[in-house]
Amino acid sequence: MSAFYEAMDLYPELVKEFKAVKREFKRGQGCAVCHVKLAQHLMTVDHIIPLSNPDVDPFDMTNWQVLCLTHHREKTKKENEELKRLKIEAAHAAHMQKAGRHS
Ligand SMILES: [Zn+2]
């Protein structure tokens, strides 16, 4: 769960509005990857640059795209792997720096 959605818990009215705008955005749209058009509940509005990036404005619709659930799941999985990789790299770099100081 991103910090954005956690913060949104405090503003239920805003969440309702946000969801309504997203619903409108995806109406009649096909998946940006495979162009399939499925029932509304099988389509999702994706943030091209994920919300885990603190610079992303969740309401910036130029960063929105419609994806089918399959491709949304695939993208999320890739993003999580990328985040994990970055964390490992950062931990490794910090470790090397520490080791460097002691040698
Ligand atoms: Zn798709």
List the alpha helices (DSSP H) in 1-103: 3-8, 12-26, 69-102
pTM of the model: 0.78
Q: What residue numbers bound the domain in which 73 lies?
A: 3-102
State how many domains the chain has: 1
Residues whose CB is less than 8 angstroms from the CB of residue 29 and which lie 6 or more positions away in sequence, other chains included: 37, 43, 66
pLDDT (tens digit per residue) in 5-52? 777 778 889 889 999 999 999 999 999 999 999 999 999 999 999 988
Distance 75 CA to ligand 1 centre (A): 10
Q: CA 94 to CA 96: how far, in whole Å?
A: 6
Distance 47 CA to ligand 1 centre (A): 15
pLDDT (tens digit per residue) in 74-85? 999 999 999 999
